[in-house]
Amino acid sequence: MGMTMTQKILAAHAGLESVEAGQLIEADLDLVLGNDITSPVAIHEIEKMKVNGVFDKDRIALVMDHFVPNKDIKSAEHCKCVREFACKNEISHYYDVGQMGIEHALLPEQGLTVAGDVIIGADSHTCTYGALGAFSTGVGSTDMAAGMATGKAWFKVPSAIRFVLTGRPSKYIGGKDIILHIIGMIGVDGALYQSMEFTGDGIAYLSMDDRFTIANMAIEAGGKNGIFPVDDIAKNYMEAHGSRPYTVYEADEDAVYEKEYTIDLSTLRPTVAFPHLPENTKTIDEIGDIAIDQVVIGSCTNGRLEDFRIAAGILKGKKVKKGLRVIVIPATQQIYLDAMEAGYLRTFIEAGAVVSTPTCGPCLGGYMGILAKGERCVSTTNRNFVGRMGHVDSEIYLAGPAVAAASAITGKISGPEEV
C-alpha cells in the first residue's frame, strides 16, 4: 500500500519503512515551537521532569508575539519566564521585542522550517509550514515540554484528503479565498485529524504567501496538517531564506485518500466567512449591505508582503471611510521594512490607517483592536468565533486583503471591483 506525503515524512522520522493511517508512532522532531502564551506552561512542566536542559538548543524556537510589546503585568511576567528559560538553556532561536515577528511568518523567513521536517508547536496554526512540504502540527503545552526535553513526540498517523487545485485564479483571488472556499465546502470538521494534501496544476499559480495562508488554516477545517508538494517555487523560497538541507517527499501513485475534491480556481470569487465560524462562507456577490466598524489587515494568515501589496494597491490615493478604524500589522520586522521601502506603509497611513509593530494582538482579542459590543470587523485573521476579537456580541468577518482594503474605503463589506 502506497503512502501520502505526510505518511512518508512520519515514517522516515520514526525509523520505519512504512506507516499506515491510525498507527501510533514515536517520531524525531526537527523543531519545537512555543510563544509567550504557551511556553510558560511548557516551561513549568519541563521543570517538573527534572531533566538536564533541553534536547537541542538549536532546534527550539521561542517567539514572543501574542501580547508583545507587553500589554500588561501578566504578559510581562510570561515573557520574563520565557526569556529567563531561553537564557538559561542558551536557546539559539529566541525572538523578543526588536527581533520578534508573528511566529508562523517569522520561522520560514528565518529558514528554520524546510521540506521534510517534522515540527510541533504549542500553537494550533503551526500547520503553516506544510506550505514548504513539512509535516507540522499544533500540540498542547505539555507535549511541547516533552518535545523540548526529548526531541520526540507521539503521533497517530493521519489519513488524508486530497485537494486537486486546477486552473488559474483571477486577479484578486488569493490563498485566503481558496481556503475559505474549501472550509465552506467541507465544514470546520470536514478534515478532522486528517492530512489535507494539495495537488494539481493550479498550485503553479500560487505564490508562497498564498500557500502559507492555505496551510495555516488547515486547522480551521479540523485538519491535523496541510501540506503542499515541493516545487521550484518552494525550493527557491527555502534556498533564499536559509541554508538548511531539505528532503523532498512525494506521495505514491497508489497512496490512499479518504476523499478527493477537485477545485477549479478560475471559478472562485472573493469569499468572506460570516460569524461565528469559518465555514459560514459567502462570495462577495452574495453579500448584502453590511456596515462595519473596523478592518484588520495582518496576522500569521495574511500579514505578509504580498498581502500589503494587494491592500496598498487598492487603498492608494483613497481614504478610509470616516468613522472606520483600520489597523495594519506587518507579520515580521523584515516585512515591515520591505513594506516601508515599497511605499505601502505610507499609502496606509495617508489613507487613514494605523501601522503596528508585529504582533498577534487583535487576532485573539489580545490588544491593538478589541471590539466593543455590537461592533463588526472585517479581518484577514483566521478565526471568527464568538468573542474572539473582543465582546461576545461583536462580529468578525474573515476575508483576504483585497476585500479588507475595499471594505475600508466603503465602510461596508465590499469587493475590490466596487472601489
3-class DSSP string for the chain: CECCHHHHHHHHHHCCCCCCCCCEEEEECCEEEEECCCHHHHHHHHHHHCCCCCCCCCCEEEECCCCCCCCCHHHHHHHHHHHHHHHHCCCCEEECCCCCECHHHHHHHCCCCCCCCEEEECCHHHHHHHHHCCEEEECCHHHHHHHHHHCEEEEECCEEEEEEEECCCCCCCCHHHHHHHHHHHHCCCCCCCEEEEEECHHHHHCCHHHHHHHHHHHHHHCCCEEECCCCHHHHHHHHHHCCCCCCCCCCCCCECCCEEEEEEHHHCCCEEECCCCCCCEEEHHHCCCCECCEEEEEHHHHCCHHHHHHHHHHHCCCCCCCCCEEEEECCEHHHHHHHHHCCHHHHHHHHCCEECCCCCHHHHCCCCCCECCCCEEEECCCCCCCCCCECCCCEEEECCHHHHHHHHHHCECCCHHHC
What does the pLDDT look like over 12-33, one tens digit per residue?
999 999 999 999 999 999 999 9
What does the pLDDT look like over 239-291, one tens digit per residue?
999 999 999 999 999 999 999 999 999 999 999 999 999 999 999 999 989 99
Question: 253: burial class by Cβ within 10 Å (0-12, 13-18, 19+)?
Answer: exposed
Residue 235: band (very low, low, confident or very high) from pLDDT cuts 50, 70, 90: very high
**What confidence score (pLDDT) does residue 204 get?**
97
**What confidence score (pLDDT) does residue 1 get?**
78
Query: Cell 483566521 belongs to which residue?
Result: 382
Query: Cell 508585529 belongs to which residue?
Result: 358
Pick the closest to residue 65 from 114, 111, 112, 106 (CA basis): 106
Percent of the chain with pLDDT over 90: 95
- Mean of all residue pLDDT scores within the chain: 96
Work out the end-to-end distance of the chain between its first and last CA atoms, rounded to an integer number of angstroms.
Answer: 53
- Is residue 105 within 8 A of residue 304, CB to CB? The reply is yes
Q: Determine the Cα–Cα distance for residues 227 and 358; give it in Å rounded to an integer.
A: 26
What does the pLDDT look like over 42-93, one tens digit per residue?
999 998 988 888 999 999 999 999 999 999 999 999 999 999 999 999 999 9
State which amino acid sits at residue 284. I
Residue 419 has pLDDT above 90, yes or no: no
**What confidence score (pLDDT) does residue 318 get?**
97
Residue 345 has pLDDT above 90, yes or no: yes
Mean pLDDT along residues 322-334: 97
What does the pLDDT look like over 359-417, one tens digit per residue?
999 998 889 999 999 999 999 999 999 899 999 999 999 999 999 999 999 999 999 98
What does the pLDDT look like over 95-123, one tens digit per residue?
999 988 999 999 999 999 999 999 999 99
* Structural domains of the chain sorted by starting position, each given as residue range(s) with its CATH number in brackets: 5-263 (3.30.499.10), 273-413 (3.30.499.10)
State which amino acid sits at residue 413. I
**What confidence score (pLDDT) does residue 172 get?**
95
Residue 157 has pLDDT above 90, yes or no: yes
Phi, psi values for residue 301, rounded to 5°: -90, -45
Residue 237 has pLDDT above 90, yes or no: yes
Q: Determine the Cα–Cα distance for residues 87 and 53; give it in Å rounded to an integer.
A: 12
pTM of the full predicted structure? 0.95
